[in-house]
Amino acid sequence: MTMSMHGNLSYQELMRRYRRIGILGEVSSMLHWDGAVMMPEASAAARAEQHAELAILKRELLVDSRMGALIEGAWDEDLDDAQQRDVALLERQRLRMMAIPSDLLTALTRQKSKTEIEWRAARAAKDYKAVAPALARLLALVKEQAAALSDSLGLDPYDALLDGFDPEMTAERVDALFLDLSTWLPELIQAAIDRQSTDPAPPPFDGSFAAATQHRLGEQAMAALGFPFDKGRLDLSTHPFTGGIPQDIRMTTRWDEADPVSGLLAVLHETGHALYEAGLPASRIHRPSGRSVGMTLHESQSLFIEMQMARSPAGAVWLSGLMTEHFGPQPAFEPEALGRRLRRVERGFIRVEADEVTYPAHVMLRYRLERGLLADDLSVHDLPEAWAAGMEDLLGVTPPDDALGCLQDIHWYDGAIGYFPTYTLGAMAAAQLAETARMEMADLDARVAAGEVEAAVAWMREKVHAEGSLHGTDDLLTRVTGRPLETGAFRRHLEGRYLDG
Amino acid sequence: MTMSMHGNLSYQELMRRYRRIGILGEVSSMLHWDGAVMMPEASAAARAEQHAELAILKRELLVDSRMGALIEGAWDEDLDDAQQRDVALLERQRLRMMAIPSDLLTALTRQKSKTEIEWRAARAAKDYKAVAPALARLLALVKEQAAALSDSLGLDPYDALLDGFDPEMTAERVDALFLDLSTWLPELIQAAIDRQSTDPAPPPFDGSFAAATQHRLGEQAMAALGFPFDKGRLDLSTHPFTGGIPQDIRMTTRWDEADPVSGLLAVLHETGHALYEAGLPASRIHRPSGRSVGMTLHESQSLFIEMQMARSPAGAVWLSGLMTEHFGPQPAFEPEALGRRLRRVERGFIRVEADEVTYPAHVMLRYRLERGLLADDLSVHDLPEAWAAGMEDLLGVTPPDDALGCLQDIHWYDGAIGYFPTYTLGAMAAAQLAETARMEMADLDARVAAGEVEAAVAWMREKVHAEGSLHGTDDLLTRVTGRPLETGAFRRHLEGRYLDG
């Protein structure tokens, strides 16, 4: 590294250009939120064209040959650690983008929109065959994408896709972690179900719970966690998600007037995602090192709030108070009864409704199947059968139809192969972070029970959010918890909560 | 024009590039709507950067030297009339954009956002001095813009700005039309007020009118007019407007629970704008000739629905029925009483609350002042005084504070000089179009009274909307009404409604 005579001119110009790309990404993100929350149905085609055009523009800015020269120039400049990280991350992002020809990018973007629309109809009609041809076409394009990335990055095709969601993660690593899980999880599921069979069932909810009141309750919980309502909002959508940008966070949920808990848990989960974005370092806005690390850490943030805090005995005390305040007292809201509901273990069909004990089984199934699909070991035609067999194998249940089976998740129909593992990797990371947080803050659970939940968020903000992506997932976990990602804390958490608790 | 050996390759490539620019404009339009309807307050700075970046990208695509070569190439190709119009309009748009250096464009975009934010606070505080420095800075940039456009287009600076809102319109033309108005309007205002002084005052509204019910009523009126709810929606904002794109129309209004008419009239007005966009020729989507002509014709569409149809005696019958259906009968909803309210003439301070008889006086004041500001005949410092003097002169009233005076409208604080005249030019065009429509459809008012209001829209769709911008304002008016824009029909309309009616 030599000192430049004129300061870091290449680096500065590189960041100026990256900022433009980042702002186009912000625009896409706002439009994505609008598409799920506000957009009229028949406007979908125009919106798809907008997304395609923004993707192409971002690509053009990123692959521009001048960017390559600037990256080379920047490496010769006197950069601090964060700046070096910026250049390295940007170089990687550019390499990934250059691997994908513009025609393929357009075809992918269009086929994703088309397949997703057909999937919605197919799922409503429980008719997998109706969407299978579109899925096959999309999968063929994803395979092209994986092959192109594989060549460019020198990674296996599946790893090349996984790397797009969780940098540095590999199938070899996932295999090892999931193999470990598979040695103890099936027994733990059975033991947890056996154990709770002697508990009384959670009392049913009494009455109807107005959506408007649930909305106020949800916003109160978000405020307690430190959600910045001056630069964010909560709206409704079919599937809860967190969109927007750190300066304009758009969170969504849905309310069930017969069940005041499910929507609230979705809000708590999404607030974890939202606070990660809100807590990213403002000093490194529009720099690669100022962004979130990847989906494993992102999911760890939502699961830290939802699973580690809210569903704990202390969390049940907090939520019990909130629910009683808004809906009056009833047996189902008693802390102990509410806790039993929040920690109920059941072998079900639907991933997003699964408890944290059976959830990894849902993920392992999808991981197994999507690797098969990508490697041509499994055909789109045979997916429903393979799904049913896998559910029987991993959870001992067989879905009665494909809406409760291979049509339930949007991911594959949106071209996302390599995303699913991050849910369970995130659960592991959340357990690891929570274990450390509880060691460093002995009164953490007492504070959560008292509603001082922002204490947990403050710790996470300092340890994780404020780092941006200065470090990869394993580096960051090692810095904070002393160990890279592993299954130990997750196992101790589940055993402690479901067997000994 | 020579036949190209390879078809219209330059033209085709030109349209492909224009489509990209158009789609970026669509994106800006969606974000603009979001900014007024959904965006949290503290997100404004990030949004301003997104708008600035999109503006710069649009500029880059438009001024690209290859575009110039393609335009030259296209002129040598065998183009039909619509294609020739596409090239001519695009060439003009490019010429306008090339005149504005990128630095000036960025400075303008940023200063507009800043000034608008300061204006909101200043208006709330009735404190013109608080925003005057920001307005002065913005005005200096607008003058630079006008000078640059003036050089490029060979127009006077004010004409160069006016041309951006209403192509081909000139101050000379506006002067002549407004001079004509000024010879008969003051007398007409006085005569209308004298005449109505013997009428009973409209009965007051009895009760409170739930916003949710007004919203349903508004949507029912929109549906009757043919608003396409599968690709459009109605939301709330501080100031009603129509945003979005023809395939995704975002209309807004506000509801006053003490007054069930004001929000409804805003909805009817905005529906006129919305239907113009919705009715543009789908076969020429993403082509310059497929867009709306300019603000005069746009405003003619909103005023055709609001002033010519809804506020007519026939319109009062229609609206009376709607209001009675939703809120039950009461004296204020009787057609005759409602009609008196809809046609009440008053010398007021606020343009957007003005009736159609006094409205042109508000516009003439702003036109006079903005020409003074641009020509340095009037300083930002002296604006409040000049405003008060002008109001006294034109309407015989003096605003008690600047919130009711020169702080009331956003336009100048958003950098829009040259926009105001189009409101009154639009009122003239609406009268001209309505006069022809009533001649061609003898039963038009009977159908409006019966709620068959889409009949009027269907006529307009065929005569105006479907043309896009194949013709300029005067050409189109001449084709439809037999005469270019003039004051005659407007005068006959006002005299007929307010003196003889």
A115-119, B287-291, B361-365: least confidently modelled range:
A115-119
Contact B31 A26 (CB under 8 A): no
Distance CA A69, CA B36 (A): 41
Express each pLDDT in A144-155 by its tens digit.
999 999 999 999
The per-residue pLDDT for B500 is 87
For B50, name the nearest residue in chain A, comparing CA atoms only.
Answer: A23
Instruction: Reply yes or no on whether the pLDDT at B501 is more than 90.
Output: no
Kindly report the average pLDDT of chain B as a whole number.
96
Whether A5 shows a pLDDT value over 80: the answer reads: no
Mean pLDDT of all residues in A105-125: 92
Task: Show which of residues 50-79 on chain B sit within 8 Å of chain A, judged by CB atoms.
Answer: 50, 53-54, 57
Residue A382: pLDDT over 70: yes
Q: For B233-248, what is each residue's pLDDT tens digit?
A: 999 998 899 999 999 9
* Pairwise CA distance, residues B333 & B320, whole Å: 5
The pTM assigned to this predicted structure is 0.94
State residue A4's pLDDT score. 46
Strand partners, A251: A234, A242
Residues A141-165: b if buried by 16+ CB within 10 A, e if exposed? bbbebbebbbeebebbbbbbbbbbb
Write the pLDDT tens digit of every residue in B360-417: 999 999 999 999 999 999 999 999 999 999 999 999 999 999 999 999 999 999 999 9
Quickly tell me which residue has 């919980």 as its tokens: A221
What confidence score (pLDDT) does residue B6 get?
A: 61
The shortest C-alpha distance from A219 to chain B (Å) reads 15
> Would you state the pLDDT for residue B335?
97
Separation of alpha carbons B392 and B299, rounded Å? 27
Residues of A in contact with B233 (CB under 8 A): 38, 40
Across-strand partners of B256? B259
Find where tokens 């008690």 sit.
B400
In this complex, is the C-beta atom of A41 within 8 Å of any C-beta atom belonging to chain B? yes
DSSP assignment letter at B308: I
Q: Does residue A102 have a pLDDT over 50?
A: yes
Pairwise CB contact (< 8 Å): B34 & A39: no
Residue B321 pLDDT > 50: yes
| CA gap B263, B352 in Å, rounded | 12
Using the predicted structure, report yes or no on whether residue B4 has a pLDDT greater than 70. no
**Using 50, 70 and 90 to split pLDDT, how confident is the model at A7?**
confident
Which residues in chain A touch residue B34, judged by CB atoms under 8 angstroms apart?
A: 30, 34
pLDDT for B107: 93
Of B31, B41, B45, which is closest to A30 when you measure between CB atoms?
B31
Q: Is B270 a catalytic residue?
A: yes
Establish if A381 touches chain B: CB-CB under 8 angstroms: no
Task: Name which of B42, B57, B232 is nearest A57 (Cβ-Cβ).
Answer: B57
- Which own/partner pairs from A397-405 qualify as long-range (CB within 8 Å, at least 24 positions apart)? A397/A347, A397/A348, A397/A349, A399/A349, A401/A126, A402/A126, A402/A127, A402/A128, A403/A123, A403/A124, A403/A126, A404/A349, A404/A350, A405/A128, A405/A349
Asked if the Cβ–Cβ distance from B247 to A43 is below 8 Å, we say: yes
Contacts of A232 in chain B (CB under 8 A): 40, 43
Residues A150-195 pLDDT 10s: 999 999 999 999 999 999 999 999 999 999 999 999 999 999 999 9
> What is the structure's pLDDT at A22?
97
Which range, of A86-90, A246-250, A293-297, B106-110, averages the lowest pLDDT? B106-110
Mutate to test the interface with B, among A50, A248, A285 (most CBs of B within 10 A): A248
Q: Check A27 against B50: CB less than 8 A apart.
A: yes
Question: B30 to chain A: which residues are within 8 Å by CB?
Answer: 31, 34, 50
Angle A59-A64-A67 from CA coordinates, rounded to 5°: 110
> Which residue out of B77, B116, B270, B356 is catalytically annotated?
B270
pLDDT value at residue B257: 98
pLDDT band at A238 (very low <50, low <70, confident <90, very high): confident
Distance CA B362, CA A57 (A): 44
Nearest to A232 among B26, B40, B232 (CB): B40
Contact A247 B54 (CB under 8 A): no
Q: Does B39 touch chain A (CB under 8 A)?
A: yes
Terminal alpha carbon distance of chain A: 56
Residue B2: what pLDDT? Answer: 47
pLDDT above 50: residue A2: no
Nearest CA in chain B to A22: B50
Amino acid at B179: L
Instruction: Please report which confidence band the pLDDT of residue A6 belongs to, taking 50, 70 and 90 as the band edges.
Output: low
B44 touches chain A (CB under 8 A): no
pLDDT range class, residue B113, cuts 50, 70, 90: confident
Mean pLDDT score of chain A? 96
Phi-psi category of B426—alpha, beta or left, where left has phi over 0 and alpha has psi -120 to 50? alpha
Pairing of strands B248-253, B232-236: parallel
Q: To the nearest whole angstrom, how far is the Cα of A283 from the nearest Cα of chain B?
A: 14
Which member of A77, A91, A116, A270 is catalytic?
Answer: A270
pLDDT average, residue stretch A336-341: 97
Q: Is the pLDDT of residue B96 over 50?
A: yes
Written as one string, the DSSP assignment of B64-125 is -HHHHHHHHHHHTS---HHHHHHHHHHHHHHHHHHHS-HHHHHHHHHHHHHHHHHHHHHHHT
pLDDT at B1: 44
Task: Give the domains, in start order, of chain B with CATH numbers.
Answer: 211-348+440-500 (1.10.1370.30)
A253 within 8 A of B54, measured Cβ to Cβ: no
Name residue B252's beta-bridge partners: B235
Higher local confidence (pLDDT), B258 or B109: B258
Residue B231 in contact with partner chain A when CB distance is under 8 A = yes
In B, minimum Cα distance to A17 occurs at: B53
- The alpha-carbon gap from B361 to the nearest alpha carbon of chain A, in Å, equals 39
**pLDDT tens column, B177-206:** 999 999 999 999 999 999 999 999 999 999
Question: Is B248 in CB contact (< 8 Å) with chain A?
Answer: yes
For the stretch B371-395, what's the b/e string if a residue is b when 16 or more beta carbons lie within 10 angstroms of its beta carbon? bbbbeeebebeebbebbbebbeebb
